[in-house]
Structure 1
């Protein structure tokens, strides 16, 4: 295990960080409670989380400013100054969306996220100070503050990458769920009463069935946001609300009514045949399976070319 990995593991186990993380998380959760705020910061209408896209602007601007400060010379100074300002401005919505996403984490992820946010805050402060010094004509101190800010930003970026790509924080938890392409019986028609809901297995995928106004609807039973158990949620007005973080989905199409979810819930076609409720992936979703299988075959061919050691 590399030194950075060891450092992150220690952060995940640093329970004293909970003294700050828990109350701050509760404060953020109250602040983002309104549906408009939650949906906007979560990227609900974007189709994926908003925070990662915004980080590219801040990291890109500050990275290029640091590069120009290091090797650009006098002619690059106006461009470097503009990039520092751009990063400072972009850092504000980036921080807001990041805090929104972080408020849903727990335990080790929340501790690492707290340090990630703290490093970002220090980086923002240093680059803001750099911006002021540059405006005053203090080029040397402005560059020095920018270099220090770049160091903290780099550390924060590493922690953010760990949370996203190692821990899978805020990724779509239903991305690889497909379900049956052919009509598959999952439950007896009489086993699902009006207004009731049941969980059933359909081709190895857990499906949430709900009957309302005489029609049966089916969604993936695992919340796309953080993997919450939708069958334990609340059912109202043709929607289900996840008990973990309050993401609300429409049964008729899996669409999101309220975040923090940003990926729609997989929705399945239903019918009643010979007294049994049957489900299948909608016809437009069927090509997804073969595409993934082609990808898997390509991966296997590439791996086969690697000589054994």
Structure 2
């Protein structure tokens, strides 16, 4: 029931084309500001995206305001007024840093993802305003007003966080879509790197066929492709060559196979 309601909410946001005009204007304003600051390329742009970290920087920074404001909520319940105000202040600093990186990433979104990002940013801006007012009121000694602003701002930041997760999990914003999902987990060394010359393939003399290669081994590693065996020399059989065993069968022979 709740999931359907949330899906309908997200679908409604994605279909709201009235968000396109303010979105384009905001994008133009951000591009103009970044051009003035000279951060449209080079190290500054990579820093804001989190290239140096190997991970998008914006999701990392969002944990700081959410965690700090959750801590402030708990401190309010325990009556620690000064500590609660300090937690609100730390959250505000983290929220500003997250806003800068989030806006930088949002410029490169399109269509439905851009609309969700607009609402995500609007909710977060409202939450920052409420917590900023809370921090100011606490400093003036009006702790009751500060607590009220905190209580109003917490569900807003949670809603903004939900839409942020939608951007990642539904629209794949900031996700590396080129990483292989079906890569093997284990590799079997067959040739030293120093033995390679150029880009030419080499024939590799593999280990002897023994009972260790069995149907059980093949079933435990379904991703392994069987290596084609061209010929096997079997001195025990008294012949120069003998057909090689098929992968997946049990054969306790010491016939050395040449595989490529």
**1:43-63: CA deviation from partner (whole Å, max 9, x where unpaired):** 111111111111111110011
Match of 2:8 in 1: 6
1:52 and 2:56 correspond: no
Distance across 1 between alignment mates of 2:183 and 2:63: 35
Aligned twin of 2:143: 139
TM-score normalized by structure 1? 0.56
Range with bigger deviation, 82-91 or 173-182: 173-182
Of 63, 67, 71 in structure 2, the residue corresponding to residue 64 of structure 1 is 71
Show the counterpart of 1:242. none
Q: Which runs of 4+ in 1 moved over 6 A?
A: 178-182
Does structure 2 retain, via aligned residues, the 8 Å contact 1:29–1:100?
Answer: no
Change (3 A) 1:49 1:67: same
Match for residue 41 of structure 2? 34
The residue number in structure 1 matching 2:211 is: none
What is the CA distance between 1:86 and its match in structure 2? 0.3
Q: How does 1:75-94 map onto structure 2 within 5 Å?
A: 76-94=80-98
Question: Tell me, what secondary structure is at the counterpart of 2:141?
Answer: coil
Tell me the alpha carbon deviations over residues 81-132 of structure 1, each in whole angstroms, 9 at most, x when there is no partner.
1100000111111100011111110000000001100111111011011000
Q: Pick the structure with more helix per residue.
A: 2
SS state at 1:61 partner? helix
Determine if contact 1:134/1:142 at 8 Å carries over to the other structure. yes
Change in Cα spacing, 1:169 to 1:271, as seen in structure 2 (3 Å) is farther
* C-alpha RMSD of matched pairs (Å): 2.6
| Structure 2 residue corresponding to 1:157, chosen from 157, 161, 172 | 161
1:174 aligns with 2:178: yes
Partner in structure 1 of residue 100 of structure 2: 96
- Report the TM-score, using the length of structure 2 for normalisation: 0.66
Larger Rg: 2
Once the two structures are TM-superposed, the CA of residue 26 in structure 1 deviates from its matched residue by: 3.1
For 1:108 and 1:271, the matched residues in 2 are separated by 48
- Give the aligned length: 188
Does the 8 Å contact 1:42/1:97 carry over to 2? yes
Greater strand share, structure number = 1
The within-5 A match list for 1:1-309 is: 1-30=3-32, 31=34, 32-69=39-76, 71-73=77-79, 76-176=80-180, 272-273=199-200
Q: Give, in whole Å, the separation in 1 of the partners of 2:101 and 2:113.
A: 16
